[in-house]
A and B are shown apart, each in its own frame.
Chain A
Amino acid sequence: MLDRLRFIPARLVQSIPVVFGVTVVVFFMVHLLPGNPALVLLGQSATPERVAALNTQLGLDQPLWDQYLRFLGNLVQLDLGQSITYQRPVTELIGDAVPVTLSLLAYALVLSLVISVPLAALAASAPGRVRDAAVRVFTLLGQGMPQFWVGIMLILLLGVKAQAFPVGGYGVTAGEHLYYLFLPALTLAIAMSPTTIRSLRASTIGVLGSDHVATARSKGAAGTTLFRRHVLRNAAIPTVSIIGVNLGYLVGGSLVIEKVFAVPGLGSLMVNAIFARDFPTIQAVALVVALFVVVVGILTDVVYTAIDPRVDLAAKERA
């Protein structure tokens, strides 16, 4: 087991160019702004003094190469600059927001599995039949709905009409967090489910046709026992990597959903920063989110190796 995790150092080294590239993209975003970025950023609130101050703060009066090195240097010291609107270090704002977004994503992941596993099993139990078609319609609809709109519809149905859940905010205690985050997490889970269902359905159909399942059947295993013991574990393996990618991908969606439900995470931070033209904060959120995706990618490989004895990424590296 530990032996098979020896690929991790090499995997980390492989991520270095990506992380480096991410910093380049985030850095150059500010230089895509037409004209003097400081002037554009400040908009109507621009005075010569404020422009000069922001120019110095962003280091825009230096040559580009120096600016980038300075940006990297600050980054290493976890200095992401000062938020223009909040007048606080951006690192602090990010520190407050990250746990909220992470718990939202974890919650959504659990809910999406609760939705996906039974539906995938249902579809795979009779491929090509009515229930399979019904599940397929669900996945097609799930992929085609704007996520923020799903959120608004859940607010309408479960918040306004049924009055079952709060329609915004985050609460104070852990129990309240679970209660307040239910609707946003469900929204994300609905967005996450279609790819999980499609992948799990396909791999389940594959596993159902395999020899070990035939053996288990001949020994009398059937129904949920067969599914749980002999099918799900094997079918889950390819799905793990899909869920990993999807999770990174859905951070983007969670940004908009947080805005719909007024959840004080990275998304609300970024959307508010955009309206306030608070560029250091926007840069920081983009950076953190991209790094999160890189980390999730590595974690996915670890989980993938851990649950499937047949996968040996270390051997692949050696080859």
Chain B
Amino acid sequence: MTTTPAPPAVLAAQAEEAAPDPVRPARSRRLKPWYRNGTLVVGLVIVGLLVAVAVFAPLLAPYDPVKQDLQNALQSPGAEHWLGTDKYGRDVLSRLIWGARVDLRIGFLAVLIPFVVGTVVGALAGYFGGWFDTVVMRVVDVFFAFPFYVLVIVLVFVLGAGESSIYLAIAAVSWVAYAKIMRGELLVAKKQDYVTAARLGGMSHGRILLKHIAPNVLSQALIYACSDIVMDILAIVTLGYLGLGIAPPTAEWGSMILDGQEFITTQWLQATIPGLAVVVTSLGLSLLGDGLSDQLSPERRK
């Protein structure tokens, strides 16, 4: 028994798995083709569109996102500037589009290190057990004692604001969730008959882990990664809002909200629009995650 539990997202998912759902009787659990899975398709479309916006930002944005034009500062939406201009006269729509580039890139990249480190460490701990498992789980407990934002904010502060600090801070904090998930998966998987059979067949531990167990257990880490990207993007935006994120004048959604908050009484769209962009992004990724979860492990879903 460990003393600090997994993050709420993990727990909520587990709680839902446990509950039987009367609307979906056993026979309908057969795998649907992915394109018939509405949640997955909507998620894919939203995320796909956002990625396209990010990739083609230079072509889509009508103005230079960092070019100041103080004579036209704080304009309301109109024909010239569809979403108006900020206090430096920069085009809000262009900043929103370029912001997608920054926030999505960091969000997607930030998930890679913790995914790999956490998955490997958790899998080894679960598979081999013993002192390594004990040590890893104690460390995991300690990290879970710190709320996500507290550790990320403090680490980014200590390492200095900026992109590489964000990657390091997020990696340091979020590998533990993957480790916990994978350890749990491995504890179950290693008792399965196919593993025993492989062992009896004289296969090495490394080969069993890579060839036989990994394909069966990685899906859970992958599903968690979708909600983890959402958390990372929220963290990046929050850091930007606190002034610890990407340095100005680079367009980034969090710092746009910070800039807009000043003018909440007169130009409320300024703080509202970038927040909506975050909401749409998170929604797309959450739907993608739920859809993946339906496809990859239908027996666990409600």
Q: Once the chains bind, are A198 and B15 in contact (CB under 8 Å)?
A: yes
Q: Once the chains bind, are A286 and B12 in contact (CB under 8 Å)?
A: no
Is A181 part of the binding interface, using a Cβ–Cβ cutoff of 8 Å? no
Is B196 part of the binding interface, using a Cβ–Cβ cutoff of 8 Å? no
Q: Once the chains bind, are B11 and A148 in contact (CB under 8 Å)?
A: no
Stretch from A82-90, A149-157, A214-222 contacting the other chain? A149-157
Q: Once the chains bind, are A255 and B153 in contact (CB under 8 Å)?
A: yes
Q: Once the chains bind, are B150 and A251 in contact (CB under 8 Å)?
A: yes
Q: Which residue of B lies closest to A37 (CB)?
A: B158
Q: Once the chains bind, are B275 and A153 in contact (CB under 8 Å)?
A: yes
8 Å CB contact of A18 from B12, B141, B151, B257: B141
CB neighbors of A among B228-277 (8 A) = 230, 234, 237-238, 241-244, 254, 257, 261, 264-265, 268, 271-272, 275
Q: What's the Cα separation between A246 and B281 when bound, in Å? A: 23
Q: What's the Cα separation between A37 and B151 when bound, in Å? A: 18
B234 proximity list for chain A (CB < 8 A): 144, 146-147
B154 proximity list for chain A (CB < 8 A): 29, 274, 282, 286
Q: Once the chains bind, are A252 and B150 in contact (CB under 8 Å)?
A: yes
Interface string of A186-204 (1 = CB under 8 A from B): 0000000011001100110
**Given that A145-B275, A293-B145 are known contacts, is A18 also in contact with B3, CB under 8 Å in the complex?**
yes
Q: Once the chains bind, are B20 and A249 in contact (CB under 8 Å)?
A: no
8 Å CB contact of A22 from B18, B146, B286: B146
**Given that A290-B145, A290-B146 are known contacts, is A245 also in contact with B11, CB under 8 Å in the complex?**
yes
Is B279 part of the binding interface, using a Cβ–Cβ cutoff of 8 Å? yes
Q: Once the chains bind, are B20 and A25 in contact (CB under 8 Å)?
A: no
Is B59 part of the binding interface, using a Cβ–Cβ cutoff of 8 Å? no
A290 proximity list for chain B (CB < 8 A): 145-147, 150
Q: Once the chains bind, are B18 and A145 in contact (CB under 8 Å)?
A: no
Q: Once the chains bind, are B9 and A195 in contact (CB under 8 Å)?
A: yes
Q: Which residue of A lies closest to B243 (CB)?
A: A275
Is B21 part of the binding interface, using a Cβ–Cβ cutoff of 8 Å? yes
Q: Which residue of B lies closest to A13 (CB)?
A: B3
Q: What's the Cα separation between A34 and B242 when bound, in Å? A: 22
Q: What's the Cα separation between A299 and B238 when bound, in Å? A: 30
Q: Which residue of B lies closest to A155 (CB)?
A: B264
Give the Cβ gap from A83 to chain B, nearest Cβ, in Å. 16
**Given that A141-B283, A199-B15, A205-B21 are known contacts, is A286 also in contact with B151, CB under 8 Å in the complex?**
yes
Main secondary structure of the interface of A (DSSP, over half): helix
Q: What's the Cα separation between A217 and B7 when bound, in Å? A: 37
8 Å CB contact of B149 from A17, A127, A255, A316: A255
CB neighbors of B among A14-29 (8 A) = 14-15, 17-18, 21-22, 24-25, 29
Q: What's the Cα separation between A118 and B281 when bound, in Å? A: 28
CB neighbors of B among A223-272 (8 A) = 238-239, 241-242, 244-246, 248-253, 255-256, 259, 270-271
Is B278 part of the binding interface, using a Cβ–Cβ cutoff of 8 Å? yes
- B6, B8, B141: most-surrounded residue (chain A CB, <10 A): B8
Q: Once the chains bind, are A199 and B22 in contact (CB under 8 Å)?
A: no
A242 proximity list for chain B (CB < 8 A): 8, 11-12, 15
**Given A34-B160, A198-B15, 19 more pairs with CB closer than 8 A:** A21-B142, A144-B282, A144-B283, A149-B257, A153-B275, A156-B272, A203-B15, A242-B8, A245-B6, A245-B11, A248-B145, A249-B148, A252-B148, A256-B242, A271-B242, A274-B244, A286-B146, A289-B146, A294-B145
Give chain A's interface residues, CB within 8 Å of chain B. 11, 14-15, 17-18, 21-22, 24-25, 29-30, 32-34, 127-128, 140-141, 143-149, 152-153, 155-156, 160, 194-195, 198-199, 202-203, 205-206, 209, 238-239, 241-242, 244-246, 248-253, 255-256, 259, 270-271, 274-275, 282, 285-286, 289-291, 293-294, 297, 316
Give chain B's interface residues, CB within 8 Å of chain A. 1, 3-9, 11-12, 15-16, 18-24, 138-139, 141-151, 153-155, 157-160, 227, 230, 234, 237-238, 241-244, 254, 257, 261, 264-265, 268, 271-272, 275, 278-279, 281-283, 285-287, 302
Closest CB pairs A-B (n = 9): A144-B282, A252-B147, A21-B142, A252-B149, A202-B19, A149-B275, A128-B23, A195-B8, A206-B19
